[in-house]
Structure 1
Amino acid sequence: MAKSVGIIYLGLLEDPKKSLKHLSEVEKLGEEILVDRQEIVALDKRRNHNREALRALKNGAGSKTWMAVGSLLIKLPQEQASKALEKDQMHLDVEINKLRSNLKVKVNALQDMEHKDPIPGLTLQPMTHKEMRTIKSAMGISS
């Protein structure tokens, strides 16, 4: 492995244009990874704020509540506000999951571009319910 990596890097050093192009591609992909991670953090913060708002609506008294929609404050029935927040929660969950799965692909691509081994465990998938039942039955655990 080390020998082939050395040959690849030697080839890049012999051609400065190819080397510069490769480095710019690595840098671009690294930047995309960082942006995606920041986006995940921002969406997760928004999801947490929505969760707090849903909890406050469930514990609050009254039939109407104020809700910020962009730069507007709107007075809505609590049910309608809850439905809007739950819909936004579902959208945020989908968006975060999509970014996380794309992030795994980009990190593996970056590892390939840097001629490194893939990160172990990055592509692990959770076990299905059927697989869990099979394991539990093999261990003698009743579900």
Structure 2
Amino acid sequence: MKTDAEKTIEILEASERVADKILVNKQEIIDLDKRRQANREALRELRKSQEGKHWISVGNLLVEMPRKKAEELLVKDQEVIDSDIERLRNEQRKLVNELRDLEHLSPAKGFDMKPLARDEMSALQANLLNF
């Protein structure tokens, strides 16, 4: 049978593990968001430019490629980054709730809310105008 001190240490260790994972996820989200912003800037410059070929940084390489191909590559990378950020945010919600459970706190209100989709928002706006 475990003593109260051993149980307390187990709970503290579990809390620290979850809190560390939350901080790691938060930093990863920040890094991905910076990359997403850099991609947005690159896409905007590509769309403004009239040149046929552009230099693109792929990892440590600098590659010259046609404008269309570079734009497709950036859009695809943007989609991957968006899905990774969404996955991390969903995991973050679960981890925060798990941490609050370990600390015997009530779940954070409104933390697990998701934004309305575009079609839901337009339907809501259309119905609100009728009032």
Q: TM-score, normalised by structure 2?
A: 0.88
CA distance in 1, matches of 2:53, 2:89: 36
Q: After the TM superposition, which residues 86-125 of structure 1 pair with which residues of structure 2 at under 5 Å, given as runs? A: 86-125=75-114
Residue 65 of structure 2: aligned partner:
76
Structure 2 CA distance, aligned partners of 1:107 and 1:38? Answer: 15
Taking structure 1 as reference, are residues 99 and 18 closer, same or farther at Cα in structure 2, changes over 3 Å only? same
**Paired residues for 1:1-143 under 5 Å:** 15-127=4-116, 129=119, 133=123, 136-137=126-127, 140=130
Note the C-alpha offset of 1:52.
0.3
Cα displacement (A) at 1:125:
3.4
Q: CA separation in 2, counterparts of 1:61 and 1:134?
A: 40
Q: Give the Cα separation in 1 of the matches to 2:61 and 2:12.
A: 46
Partner SS for 2:51 = coil
Distance 1:67 1:138 in 2: 46
What is the CA–CA distance in structure 2 between the aligned matches of 1:139 and 1:87, rounded to whole Å? 37
Amino acid at match of 1:113: L
Q: Which runs of 5+ in 2 are unaligned?
A: none
TM-score normalised by the chain length of structure 1: 0.81
Q: Percent identity?
A: 36
Amino acid at match of 2:20: E
Structure 1 unaligned spans of 5+: 1-11
Q: Which residue pairs with 1:7 in the alignment?
A: none
What is the alpha-carbon distance in structure 2 between the residues aligned to residue 52 and residue 138 of structure 1? 36
Q: Cα 1:104–1:58, aligned 2, differ >3 Å: closer, same or farther?
A: same
Larger CA Rg, structure 1 vs 2: 1
Distance 2:34 2:60 in 1: 19
Within 1, Cα distance between the matches of 2:88 and 2:8? 30
TM-aligned CA deviation for residue 29 of structure 1:
0.2
Paired positions, count: 129
Q: CA deviation at 1:78?
A: 0.7
